[in-house]
Structure 1
Amino acid sequence: MATSPSSSAQVARERVARRLRELRADAGLTGSELAGRCGWTHPKTSRLENGRTPPTPEDIRRWCAACGAPDQAEDIIAQSRDAESAYTEWRRQVRAGLRRLQDSYVDLYRATELFRIYSPTLVPGLLQTEGYARAVLSNVAELLQIPNDADQAAAARLERSKIVHERGHRFVMVIEESVLYYRLGNDDAMAAQLGYLLTAGALPSVSLGIIPAATQQRALWPQELFHVYDDRLVSVELMTARVQVTQPSEVEMYLRAFEQLRSMAVYGAAARALVLRAIEALR
């Protein structure tokens, strides 16, 4: 894709920096004068107003006070927090455990009517069985070198996934055929997961498409794992972080990419045949 998935986060940071820069200009202060009033060095002023360093809440309060605009501080602090939440390292999100991370998605899920999910590597979380989810989350804990609460996190993930049976939500999911062959957990866990895909793919609210590995002249190569929530938010999962994309132009690009990927997938009987072939390969 043409843009970095973290570009929305950078754009949001630049908006905060521009607002700080404009406050200083409106106050008629030079960078050195503002630095003197704030009690820090001129290079720090330059880093903050050019978006190279994210400001702390205290930085913003000092800046606004120095510019004679203390009433604007809380608004800018909120804007800065939004900017930093656009790119969040997994380590920061899982400090309280993987189970807490699962629970953090519940409100977003309930507020979303249309889910679009593309995964080149894993069965989507909403369709994962307990054994498969436990294996995935245990691997995540090991990679991030955090305490392993995969049992509790897997149970929370399954509880969260009950939303696929609730009215008012639709789920359009596309996976690569290779997902069916990446073995996570033991053979029994993998067989149970593949068996559940046969059931889940038949749910009225779920459209499950599989892009065959033998697809010729692909319209688009495999992309990063991403979720689109309605038409307003894209969550991209990288190895080290989750990126939340809200810029309309970037959301639109992900929507176009999703449609291209969806157009290559097979559904219904053809998709079930691919799953059955993967089950046979386990024997």
Structure 2
Amino acid sequence: MSSSSSAQAAREVIAARLRDMRIDAELTGHELARRCGWSPAKSSRIENARTPPSDADIRAWCTACGGESQVADLIAANRQADQMYVHWKKLHRHGMRRAQEEIVPLYRGTRLFRVYCSNVIPGMVQTESYAAALLSTIAAFQGTPDDSPEAAASRIERSEVVHQGNHRFALLIEETVLRYRVGDAETMAGQLGYLLAVMALPNVSLGVIPSDARRRVWPLEAFYLFDDRRVSVELLTAAVNVTSPSEIALYAKAFSGLSELAVYGVKARALITGAINSLG
């Protein structure tokens, strides 16, 4: 799926929601158009995803159908149709350093980070050598330019928000992440040692979900919650950016449930120390 077809698919989802709303309200297309003060052709173009609706169009449609409660979600989804699904290969086509730099404003503007990772150490607490090893592997897999040393340095610079400014971090990782070998033993030892140091910071909460935890929330794909404004979900082929308030609320609910499975403090340190000792 290309980025353009992904955007079109997102618009079709929005159009389908508007169509369902009209049907649930028992309105014909002509009646909807009359209530909104439009031509029937405009209603048809919006409903069939041929014309993207404006914010005002969505408000008018929802009001005509008695669906005012859905306005915020639909507007957020409509605004993000072009950015909600971005292929990694497109994002990394000129290398990965630029991708690290582009999200610096988002990091600096976020006060509360809630991060869940089931595959790798969260980016903002990676060491430079761990980041370089990981990014080099990603570039090789994707077949994109390998600028992993420069990208890793940019990632570390971006991660200064952990130590500077008024930011709080709630980080959750699965215990298996501590055992996955990214880079050599020295790289892993340095990364795990850095985790022990970071979790002592007053603005950082680091929870580790034991592999034998009784699951009430199943292991999920990695996701990053930036305040209550945006969720970035990391898939194999693409980054999915979620801004719909109801979807953000579901990720917040999932994070809360996963937090209850984690151990903290002394118990988390013991799991990290055990992973270091296993490096041999």
Does the pair score TM above 0.5?
Answer: yes
Partner of 1:172: 170
Query: Which amino acid is the alignment partner of residue 88 of structure 1?
Result: V
Cα displacement (A) at 1:245 = 1.0
Q: Is the 8 A contact 1:228 1:235 kept in 2?
A: yes
Counterpart CA distance in 2 for 1:271 and 1:237 is 25
Residue equivalent to 2:276? 279
| Structure 2 stretches lacking a partner, 5+ long | 1-5, 20-28, 53-76
- Give SS of 1:159's match: helix
Once the two structures are TM-superposed, the CA of residue 87 in structure 1 deviates from its matched residue by 0.9
Q: Does the Cα contact within 8 Å between 1:245 and 1:251 map onto a contact in 2? A: yes
Q: Distance in 2 between matches of 1:242 and 1:144?
A: 14
**Which residue among 264, 267, 280 is the counterpart of 1:267?**
264
Match of 2:221 in 1: 224
What is the percentage of aligned positions where both structures have the same residue? 47
**Aligned partners of 1:281 and 1:54: how far apart in 2?**
58
Q: Secondary structure at the match of 1:85?
A: coil
CA contact (8 A) 1:14 1:50 kept: no
Backbone CA RMSD of aligned residues:
3.0
Q: Choose from 187, 200, 203 the match for 1:202.
A: 200
The residue identity in structure 1 corresponding to 2:260 is S
How do residues 32-181 of structure 1 correspond to structure 2 at under 5 angstroms?
Answer: 50-51=48-49, 82-181=80-179
- In 2: Cα distance, 1:247 partner to 1:141 partner: 31
CA distance in 1, matches of 2:96, 2:267: 35
State the Cα distance separating 1:11 from its structure 2 match.
5.5
d(CA) in 2 for partners of 1:191, 1:133: 13
The AA in structure 2 aligned to 1:26 is W
Off by >2 Å, runs of 4+ in structure 1: 7-19, 25-31, 48-51, 79-82
Alignment-derived partner of residue 38 in structure 2: 26
Per-residue deviation, residues 193-233 of structure 1 (Å, max 9, x unmatched): 01101101111111000001121x21111001000011121
Q: CA deviation at 1:14?
A: 4.2
CA distance in 1, matches of 2:217, 2:252: 13
Aligned partner of residue 192 in structure 1, secondary structure: helix
TM-score, scaled relative to structure 1: 0.76
Once residues 30 and 9 of structure 1 are traced to their aligned partners in structure 2, the CA distance between those partners, rounded to angstroms, is 18
* Aligned counterpart in structure 2 of residue 241 of structure 1, from 235, 238, 251: 238
- Describe the SS at the equivalent of 2:80: helix
Q: 1:129-172: per-residue Cα shift (whole Å, max 9, x none)?
A: 01110111011101110110001000000111111001310000
Aligned residues: 238
Question: What TM-score do you get using the length of structure 2 for normalisation?
Answer: 0.77
**Following the alignment from structure 2 to structure 1, what is the Cα–Cα distance between the partners of residues 8 and 230?**
13
